[in-house]
Structure 1
Amino acid sequence: MPESPLSEFDWKCQPQAAMLIDQWTEEFVRDNRFVADLRTRMLDETGTRLSDWLDHFSLPFSVETESLLSQSGFQLRREPGDPIWQHPAGLFPHVVLGGFPKRRVTIQVESVADFLVAHRSATPIQGLPGSSLRLACVWETESTEFCVIERHGDIGFKPSELPVTNVQAILQHQEALLLRKRDFVSDEDGFAHACSLIAAAKKDLGVDRTCDLFFAAERRYWASRNKAARVQKSRQDELGLGWANHDHHTYRSSRQHFTRLIALLEQLGFQCRERFYGGAEAGWGAQVLEQPATGVVIFADVDLTAEEVSGDFAHAPLPHRDQLGTVGLWCKLHGEAVLQAGMHHLECQFDFAAARTQLAERGIKTMAPFTDFNFLKQAFTNGEVWPVAEGRIEQAVSEGAITTEQAERFRHSGSIGSHLEILQRDEGYKGFNQTGINEIIRKTDPRYAH
């Protein structure tokens, strides 16, 4: 019997794999002073953990190591070159086994050059500017190496030294996506424009590089409208890390345009994962999507009924409903997340307690946690309040979506727009909380949030 679409992706904790990765990480911290110092600075200066940035381990091949990986749930990725082990059921760094003279740990950053500048290192970079994969070995000991890697839709491990022939095209499409027009007379035109930019970039660069450029632009637009994002980004940039610890990007959509949003994401190479339903009282659901080459995960929110969540709501158009839920009203007041509004939130991986404490010291407070498990902790920063355009307020009143009293409040006080989300994952848990989010989403509903 086929699995229910609501239980098809039943993520579990992977304690054995987590213990193995933690053991190897501690060995690197013990044997490599730079790694030890960096771990301390990450926690103290960014509220993140070394484990939040791990990309892969490169270890000398041994039958014993292969056995440990296999017993811990890792599987061999069949491709030419050194054996690459990955864990299909959890969030863990890859493990490359080969004839390496030293053990190597590599973290992912947004820019290798930025990391080297931040740490005053002149080590050479492998991979030319504009390459889809760049790598630098920052610190060596007799038995270990510490490296940083930047990826632009490349799942490999060895940078190419071939000339990059499309640098101009990369820069042109990067700028086009960054400066993308978002506000049109009709949202249909806005979606068509975005899709045309994506199609043009894909023609020149391929789908994976296009996806990487698109979400780099999306994060910049979101941060331009969210103070918490700018504060945290500056902290991570001090160490040359960027947003490489992103966990998922959350988009809100009206029912009218939800299938358009999904089609746009699938144009960027996304594949549908699990479905999410907040419950009958919440009245909203989500489709989770993942782009395999970039590692970008999307949480796409929409007002939804219990009956609709069991159908293919990502691809079958949702019928019009007069009553707006939390997600629909947010879109009514601010616009579609992929168009005028920008993302509702970016969720990144942190040390939960450290990040909340450090941000509070900088004037960024967080809401009460909506997840507090041993393996998953989540909380929004207090919402960034945006002004609401008069035309949107008048339309919402005329359609009965808000009362005249609420309209006056939005005119004078604005409405919650976006957040940064603080998340901590442990034991490789890859899923999401299906129970605690209902109440917190209601608290972000502009009708009840003041």
Structure 2
Amino acid sequence: MMDRQRRNDRLWAREPEAEAVLAAFLDDALAGNAPAAAFAGRLLEDTAIRLRDILDHITLAEAAAAAGFERAGWSPAEAGVWRNAAGLFPPLVLGDRTTVWLRVEDVATFLEANRITAPIEGVPGNPLRRAIAFRGGSTDVGVVERSGHAGFDVPEVPQDLLRLARIHFNALRVRRREFDTVEAGLAHTEALVDAAIADLGPHWACDLWLKAEREFWMKRCASGRFQKQRQDAAGVGWCNIDHHTYDSSRRHFRHTIRILEKLGYELREMLYAGELAGWGSQVLEQPVIGSTIFADVDLAPEELTIDFAHEVLPDLPRHRRAGLLSELLGESILEAGLNHVAGLYDNVALRGQLTAAGIAFMTPFSDFAHLYQELTCGDMAPVDPRRVDALEAAGHIGAEEAEKLRLEGSIVTHLENIERNDGFKGFNREGIDSVLRKLDPRAYHGEGITEAVAGAIS
């Protein structure tokens, strides 16, 4: 058990040299491509997204151009592809013309939103589509839309497979989330995932899963809906996701992890803030699509040395934050939905833009040059009083806490404003601990952090 844990307890470092080389390259590319530079300015002003944070990959016209990147940590990974695995950096692909490729959610939407006429490679629904959006003197800027495809060329996909992808996406979008038992809900969810994987493979299925999960999250997250509208207007959609967060009960954590692993997620580092913190987070990464998940669960002090993602976790005498939320609202993978979605932004710009629109933020829980994190104050939802009654009767909450939950409900969702620099890929364990304590339903009612989101944007 301990060997497996040590392998997954990676400590990420800042990579300022690699970041400086990438930044200099991007500056030179934009200096010679005025339309792309203008778009980068509009994107920041309209959505708070930095161009750096939506880089998909860079095509270099000749191998010699990779020399500066090699000194900063990039190295050959597969035929014609160089990667820097030390942090969040785009791969380099050797090709015919130097091109900076940006991630977007839908290529056609991007071109229409930015009034660009350009041919699109790949039919609608294809696992990869792309187009050159801004032509420059020596460097073009293109946009690429991915649906779980790992390569850099547009694959030929049969129409019947594209049809199956649409069917599975709709099945995931409208999947039933409330059941008489959690076990039945997880079994139903796993069956849908198994069917999608059987037809499409884990990576394409995972991309569709995440799109469906974000749709459900946005139904109750006003700040998420508002920001998505802004990003759609810029034509980029949810191109800048850093991570998704799930809460789970101890009893069903292992099953939740199993479903995520089927979708191609691998265990990365485990996070916890000490034996008295009462929580643990298993960070998972889907390496093909570059997706990260934060899976939170209650932990006892003696469980910090086990592989808690796969061990059976017996019930605790008293729920901590994740367990209490799972009892109040349901499992995140079922009726509760994602706790929050984190997008990469210029943190100052996003906070200013959303605050001006009436959206309030909690105190930041990471405030470093290389990592900034803060949550919107969150969206409230009513709680089934029968769930509250059961928790009160079992001693998990007191009478006053129970009455507040019956009358005021519980926070269900947030949008996270996260800024990363120097390619830093890790998280701030102590900061997470502080914000999780505030988000415990037994605590936040007394801390005044549930300021309302402006009704005009809900």
**So what's the TM-score if we normalise by structure 2?**
0.94
Corresponding residue for residue 90 of structure 1:
87
Conserved in 2, the CA contact under 8 Å of 1:365 and 1:382? Answer: yes
Q: Please give the alpha-carbon distance, in whole angstroms, between the structure 2 residues aligned to 1:114 and 1:228.
A: 22
Structure 1 residue 51, shift from structure 2 partner: 0.5
Question: Pick from 199, 210, 222: which aligns with 2:194?
Answer: 199
Which amino acid is 1:52 matched to? D
Structure 1 residue 422, shift from structure 2 partner: 0.5
Conserved in 1, the CA contact under 8 Å of 2:100 and 2:140? Answer: yes
Corresponding residue for residue 383 of structure 1:
378
Structure 1 residue 445, shift from structure 2 partner: 1.1
3-state secondary structure, aligned to 1:39: helix
3-state secondary structure, aligned to 1:150: strand
3-state secondary structure, aligned to 1:343: coil
Q: Which moved more, 1:24-33 or 1:279-288?
A: 279-288
Q: Please give the alpha-carbon distance, in whole angstroms, between the structure 2 residues aligned to 1:4 and 1:204.
A: 33
Conserved in 2, the CA contact under 8 Å of 1:5 and 1:275? Answer: no
Conserved in 2, the CA contact under 8 Å of 1:379 and 1:422? Answer: yes
Question: Pick from 100, 111, 135: which aligns with 1:116?
Answer: 111
Conserved in 1, the CA contact under 8 Å of 2:53 and 2:344? Answer: yes
Structure 1 residue 267, shift from structure 2 partner: 1.1
Corresponding residue for residue 454 of structure 2:
none
Structure 1 residue 404, shift from structure 2 partner: 2.1
Question: Pick from 416, 424, 429: which aligns with 2:419?
Answer: 424
> Per-residue displacement from partner, 1:320-372 (whole Å, max 9, x unpaired)?
11211111111111110000100110011000111011010111111111001
1:396-411 maps to which residues of 2 (within 5 A)?
396-411=391-406
Which amino acid is 1:426 matched to? N
Report runs of 4+ in structure 1 exceeding 6 Å deviation: none
Q: Please give the alpha-carbon distance, in whole angstroms, between the structure 1 residues aligned to 2:137 and 2:207.
A: 36
Q: Please give the alpha-carbon distance, in whole angstroms, between the structure 1 residues aligned to 2:259 and 2:249.
A: 15
Query: Structure 1 regions of 5+ residues with no counterpart?
Result: none
Conserved in 2, the CA contact under 8 Å of 1:275 and 1:309? Answer: no
Which amino acid is 1:326 matched to? R
Corresponding residue for residue 267 of structure 2:
272
Residue 371, structure 1, aligned to residue 366, structure 2: yes
Q: Please give the alpha-carbon distance, in whole angstroms, between the structure 2 residues aligned to 1:346 and 1:89.
A: 24
Q: Which moved more, 1:159-168 or 1:209-218?
A: 159-168
Corresponding residue for residue 76 of structure 1:
76
Q: Please give the alpha-carbon distance, in whole angstroms, between the structure 2 residues aligned to 1:167 and 1:7.
A: 36
Corresponding residue for residue 331 of structure 1:
326
> Per-residue displacement from partner, 1:55-76 (whole Å, max 9, x unpaired)?
111112143x333222211121
Corresponding residue for residue 38 of structure 1:
39
Question: Pick from 419, 422, 439: which aligns with 1:444?
Answer: 439
Corresponding residue for residue 27 of structure 2:
26
Conserved in 1, the CA contact under 8 Å of 2:32 and 2:137? Answer: no
3-state secondary structure, aligned to 1:127: coil
1:164-203 maps to which residues of 2 (within 5 A)?
164-203=159-198
Q: How much identity, in percent, do the aligned residues show?
A: 42
> Per-residue displacement from partner, 1:223-263 (whole Å, max 9, x unpaired)?
11110100111111111111110000000001111101101
Corresponding residue for residue 213 of structure 2:
218
Conserved in 1, the CA contact under 8 Å of 2:5 and 2:307? Answer: no
Which amino acid is 2:282 matched to? Q
> Per-residue displacement from partner, 1:140-185 (whole Å, max 9, x unpaired)?
1232211000101111111135543312211111110000100000
Q: Please give the alpha-carbon distance, in whole angstroms, between the structure 2 residues aligned to 1:414 and 1:396.
A: 14
Q: Please give the alpha-carbon distance, in whole angstroms, between the structure 1 residues aligned to 2:344 and 2:313.
A: 33
3-state secondary structure, aligned to 2:11: coil
Corresponding residue for residue 126 of structure 2:
131
**So what's the TM-score if we normalise by structure 1?**
0.96
Q: Which moved more, 1:374-383 or 1:407-416?
A: 407-416
3-state secondary structure, aligned to 2:360: coil
3-state secondary structure, aligned to 1:216: helix
Aligned residues between the structures:
444
Conserved in 2, the CA contact under 8 Å of 1:75 and 1:87? Answer: yes
Q: Please give the alpha-carbon distance, in whole angstroms, between the structure 2 residues aligned to 1:162 and 1:439.
A: 47
Q: Which moved more, 1:289-298 or 1:424-433?
A: 289-298
Corresponding residue for residue 351 of structure 1:
346
Q: Please give the alpha-carbon distance, in whole angstroms, between the structure 2 residues aligned to 1:393 and 1:95.
A: 53
Q: Please give the alpha-carbon distance, in whole angstroms, between the structure 2 residues aligned to 1:29 and 1:70.
A: 22
Which amino acid is 1:33 matched to? A
Structure 1 residue 2, shift from structure 2 partner: 6.0
Q: Please give the alpha-carbon distance, in whole angstroms, between the structure 2 residues aligned to 1:396 and 1:113.
A: 49
3-state secondary structure, aligned to 2:270: strand
